[in-house]
Amino acid sequence: MSKQVFATNQAPAAVGPYSQAVRVCDLIFTAGQVGLVPGTRDFAGPDIFSQARQALLNIKAILEASGSCLGCVVKTTVFLQDMQDWPTLNEVYAEFFPVDPPARSAVQVAGLPLGARVEIEAVALACAQSKSGSC
């Protein structure tokens, strides 16, 4: 069994010694993504809505670069700087997973990289994308 490492410039570069995604067999594991705009060190905005949306866009780009898509996500873990952001997170999350959402865990943490309000990681099945963009 071997692992395959993936990276794309359509998502922020790693800010440490880790890979954006790793595939082992038919599973793809993404690194946690914060709401940084690709190619910058800037957050999409100061609020949870903007940062959660960008984090999910980053995950989408990484999954597509590694042979998967949001429709193949089976599990996410969400790290929130403040659990009071839960309702807004759910609003954004529902846009990206409108039908049969993946299993999810969410926890409040003492701090996140670069002062982010949210970090999200995903586990997805490797799958071929159809022309409609779904797996």
Range of the domain at 34: 3-125
Q: Is residue 85 part of a domain?
A: yes
Question: Distance between CA atoms of 52 and 64, rounded to whole angstroms?
Answer: 18
Does residue 130 fall inside a structural domain?
Answer: no
Percentage of the chain with pLDDT > 70? Answer: 94
Decide if 134 is inside a domain.
Answer: no
Predicted TM-score (pTM) above 0.85: yes
Check: CB of residue 135 under 8 Å from CB of residue 126: no
Q: Domain for residue 28, yes or no? A: yes
pLDDT number for residue 129: 56
Instruction: Determine contact, residues 125/28, Cβ cutoff 8 Å.
Output: yes
- Is residue 100 in some structural domain? yes
The rounded Cα 12 to chain-centroid distance in angstroms is 11
CATH number at residue 14: 3.30.1330.40
Question: Once rounded to an integer, what is the mean pLDDT over residues 36-53?
Answer: 97
pLDDT tens digits, residue range 3-24? 999 999 999 998 889 999 999 9
Is the residue at 41 inside a domain? yes
- Kindly state whether residue 131 falls inside one of the protein's structural domains: no
Residue 130 has pLDDT above 60, yes or no: no
Please give the DSSP secondary-structure letter assigned to residue 132: T
pLDDT tens track for 57-78: 999 999 999 999 999 999 999 9
Q: How many structural domains compose the chain?
A: 1
Q: What is each CA distance from 83 to 31, 48, 67, 102, 103, in whole angstroms?
A: 21, 11, 32, 20, 18
